[in-house]
Amino acid sequence: MQLNVAELKQRFAGTIFDSVEVEARRDDMLGFALACGESDPRYVDPDNPDLQAPVNFAAHYHGARMLPDDFPEFDRRAMIDAGKAVEWRAPIRPDTRLTAKSQLHDIYEKTGRSGTMVFIVHRMEFSDASDELKAIVDWRLILRGDLL
């Protein structure tokens, strides 16, 4: 199946298709920080008055769906995880409930030595109960053109 990137971008980019509630538990934050090798007391000292999650903490959450329900079907073997980028906006404090909303932020294609690849940027925006934006996490997925 051949995916039309321009049509996909027009149809799906910017539309929220998933929302999940998560809780940034104190112990999870501390464990995550230690696993990442953090040493800053703001992230690893449970008695620190400025205790907060490390800036990349939101990247360990995921939504219920990676793509919208009505996204065209394709061979899932064509998908490669191309990494994550986290934009920190404000501290995530212990035991904070967060709402994470998912959208396809961008869809584009590139041609390289291995042929054409389609890039999908899945974005999750994390906000607290007062609607303060805490973090933005972009997942880049590559769809190999030879398997589409």
Split into its structural domains, the chain has a count of 1
pLDDT for the residue 78? 77
In this prediction, residue 103 carries a pLDDT of 98
Domain assignment present for residue 112? The answer is: yes
In a domain, 20, yes or no: yes
Domain span including residue 78: 5-24+63-147
How many Cα atoms within 13 Å fall on the side-chain side of residue 41?
A: 4
List the single range of 3-7, 41-45, 81-85, 103-107 with lowest mean pLDDT: 3-7
The answer as to whether 67 is a domain residue is yes
* Strand spans (E) along the chain: 16-24, 79-88, 96-112, 115-127, 133-144
Distance CA 37, CA 63 (A): 26
Q: Given this model, what pLDDT does residue 147 score?
A: 55
pLDDT at residue 35 tops 90: yes
In a domain, 43, yes or no: no
**DSSP, res 92:** P
What does the pLDDT read at residue 36? 96
List the CATH number of the domain containing 83.
3.10.129.10
37 in a structural domain: no
pTM recorded for the entire structure: 0.90
Q: Is residue 78 situated within a structural domain?
A: yes
Side chain identity at residue 122, one-letter code: H
> If pLDDT is split at 50, 70 and 90, which confidence band does 84 have?
very high
- Is 39 within the bounds of a domain? no
**Does residue 53 fall inside a structural domain?**
no
